[in-house]
Structure 1
């Protein structure tokens, strides 16, 4: 065989081998398309009455806070309390030196005594004026008779003109004396009224001074905490100088701004006699909603909450986040926030294991027993026994096939209120 045919033989053998292998190859298995399903967790819907909570951020204030000022000028002789110290009712807070208080009190008493003496002197003077007036009127009558006799004698040339002038002057002097005395008697009521008014003013000043003297020793009017101490023993203070402050530990309040959309609901509950409570995150401090402030602004109205029980170290000025319980609402469900899609949609699981989007009403938030915040929703489509999908799927849509990985209990059961 010629060498030039060898490549052709090899090529032909390769082609025949390929064809043989192709005819003897095994047939591939037939593959059918299957629908993918997503594993989710579900919660069985059990509508009940829940009390939604409203998160608030408030400031602790002390409405019963008293600022102690110096009622008189003087030196601080005692100040047995310190900043932040708790005191009981009747405990001494601060006192002025009695050596600075007693002279002021003695001066006020002396002024009253002086005016009392002036009034008595005026009464004596008035009595003397009445008695003197009778004598002076008799002297005036005698002077007038003497004047008439002298004029008669002068007319008959039995007396000189000098005698007439002398008698006339005596009668005029007697008349002037009576006039002055009568004016003094007529002015007596006005003088007496003026002295009595000055005496009343002096007595009022004495009463004020006695009150200020008594208040120069300040005791705690209630069980409280001392704050804003501005003086020390030995300081010289002026009148009305701020010394310290004290607030009652039993009257602390929390002021938190409530949006206007919730105000009508809360006011209605208060009008019906409901007690609405709030508590901090640790639930160791509780408050009771008492009332709303009288003035509002565009950001809301201040709610005033009173501390119930032990204030547990609260201090005025502290900022505190709390959760206020709103009135309970029936036929609501507490769900995880992961179950919510958009603003008002959730997915239910149908009998054929597919997702179905439904619209719900957002009622508020609720706290579980472990402190976890859950969303409170309501809606006609949330029927008892239905299964709510709580796993958040990015590609969620109606008709998507899902499998149940686990079923959650209604975690809001711990927050259910009584049926209304």
Structure 2
């Protein structure tokens, strides 16, 4: 009987001990739920007028570049300059040999002199024909009187018929001579007009020859730099062959393509009389003069004149410019790290993030020397705290702690980051796999 009750007693003792331990155990500490905070850097927004800049990459051109060509066939007599030489106005650049230039002018002068002599001879001939015509008319009149007397004699049988025929033939010959002389006189105006036309043509050829002779000795019309030298002294050249180029020291311009989105803005500025300026990496200044009359789907070219440049520009070289665009009112300049996508930022209100839709207007130079973006939007206001640390999974209502105010009331610049962190990196920001919901504490 005892053996049968022993297991029951042991079981009862175990149950009783478990109950006693359960009753006498200490009470567990209460569980508290604590929401996680993400540390971020922030800056205070200050709205105002900001001028965005437009990055341009342009080519330097010389619209007044001068190309010298040979005005005559001949040999190069002088070429005292070389490629890269700097010349002043009036300096000799190249000259053709005199023995090739002088004969051209001499032939043209001789042709003019010959035609002037022909015109003078034609005038003398006209005067001679006019006087001869008067004499021949008088002879014809005398011959006609003689014929009448001869006819009277023949009717009275005082002269032979042969003598009458001879007088009639003499009158016929006089009439032919008179008609020929009259024709010469009538043709005088046409011959004189033709000779004068030939003389004018010869004078034009002489003017061209003298012009080409002057151009055969080319001097610099302005201060510039010699380039693209194609000939050497003694070379044989033909009319129209390239000799050399001269690039002016002043008057260079830069042509850079601007996107279609800002064309209307620049056109409006030019129409209002504004001349936006641009600067290069070395401090050179450029002024927008006009937009090209032609474009393509990618945009059109802006034409900027060089105002000043510390480095000597050369046509064909490329320059990087920053063009100042018109100011935008009620805008703010923020770092790119504060921008989410193309049109969203987050401000900190009561320790939580709130998104605001913004519009981008371009870039500008930030206080750290880097590139910042200019934005505007209806939800922006002075004094708002903008989160500048980029959180990959930022959402509305996410709890954050403002590191810029963590050590006191002083506002720390948004560009200041903890030691060991590079500018633009997030500070303890949640990764793509982090859960940004509230977490329970231990």
Using the size of structure 2 for normalisation, the TM-score is 0.84
Which runs of structure 2 are paired with 1:65-84 in the superposition (5 Å)?
65-84=65-84
Question: What's 2:313 paired with?
Answer: 314
Q: Distance in 2 between matches of 1:386 and 1:86?
A: 59
Question: What's 2:136 paired with?
Answer: 136
Question: What's 1:98 paired with?
Answer: 98
Deviation at 1:100, TM superposition (A): 0.5
* Structure 1: gaps (5+ residues): 1-14, 412-420
Q: Distance in 1 between matches of 2:109 and 2:29?
A: 123
Deviation at 1:370, TM superposition (A): 5.8
Task: Classify 1:217/1:343 alpha carbon distance in 2 versus 1 (closer, same or farther; 3 Å).
Answer: same
* Matched residue SS, 2:379: coil
Deviation at 1:110, TM superposition (A): 0.7
Q: Distance in 2 between matches of 1:233 and 1:88?
A: 21
Deviation at 1:98, TM superposition (A): 0.8
* Matched residue SS, 1:366: strand
Deviation at 1:220, TM superposition (A): 1.1
Q: Distance in 2 between matches of 1:40 and 1:155?
A: 149
Q: Distance in 2 between matches of 1:310 and 1:110?
A: 55
Question: What's 2:183 paired with?
Answer: 183
* Matched residue SS, 1:214: helix
Question: What's 1:12 paired with?
Answer: none
Deviation at 1:311, TM superposition (A): 6.5
Is this contact kept in 1: 2:283–2:310, CA < 8 A? no
Q: Distance in 1 between matches of 2:147 and 2:360?
A: 117
**Pairwise CA RMSD:** 2.4
Of the structure 1 ranges 356-365 and 368-377, higher mean CA displacement relative to structure 2 is found in: 368-377
1:388 maps to 2:392: no
Q: Distance in 1 between matches of 2:401 and 2:152?
A: 150
Is this contact kept in 2: 1:147–1:168, CA < 8 A? yes
1:125 maps to 2:147: no
Is this contact kept in 2: 1:46–1:410, CA < 8 A? no
| Structure 1 outlier segments of 4+, above 4 Å | 22-31, 407-411
Task: Classify 1:189/1:398 alpha carbon distance in 2 versus 1 (closer, same or farther; 3 Å).
Answer: same
* Matched residue SS, 2:77: strand
* Matched residue SS, 1:254: strand
Task: Classify 1:137/1:192 alpha carbon distance in 2 versus 1 (closer, same or farther; 3 Å).
Answer: same
Q: Distance in 2 between matches of 1:389 and 1:263?
A: 33
Deviation at 1:29, TM superposition (A): 5.9
* Matched residue SS, 2:395: coil
Is this contact kept in 2: 1:108–1:205, CA < 8 A? yes
* Matched residue SS, 2:41: strand
Deviation at 1:199, TM superposition (A): 0.9
Q: Distance in 2 between matches of 1:165 and 1:43?
A: 135
Aligned residue pairs total 395
1:107 maps to 2:99: no
Q: Distance in 1 between matches of 2:115 and 2:358?
A: 86
Cα deviations by residue, 1:161-215 (Å, 9 ceiling, x for unpaired) = 2212221221111111111111111111111111111111111111111111011
* Structure 2: gaps (5+ residues): 1-13, 405-410, 416-442
Which runs of structure 2 are paired with 1:174-253 in the superposition (5 Å)?
174-253=174-253
* Matched residue SS, 1:243: strand
Deviation at 1:108, TM superposition (A): 0.6
Deviation at 1:287, TM superposition (A): 0.9
Choose the corresponding residue for 1:354, options 342, 352, 355: 352
Cα deviations by residue, 1:300-340 (Å, 9 ceiling, x for unpaired) = 22211101113622222222232211111121111111111
Is this contact kept in 1: 2:335–2:366, CA < 8 A? no
Deviation at 1:141, TM superposition (A): 1.1
Question: What's 1:303 paired with?
Answer: 302
Is this contact kept in 1: 2:282–2:310, CA < 8 A? no
Q: Distance in 2 between matches of 1:297 and 1:395?
A: 40
Using the size of structure 1 for normalisation, the TM-score is 0.88
Is this contact kept in 2: 1:334–1:410, CA < 8 A? no
Cα deviations by residue, 1:131-154 (Å, 9 ceiling, x for unpaired) = 111111111111112222222222
1:399 maps to 2:397: yes
Cα deviations by residue, 1:332-384 (Å, 9 ceiling, x for unpaired) = 1111111111221000011x211111111111111236642111001122111
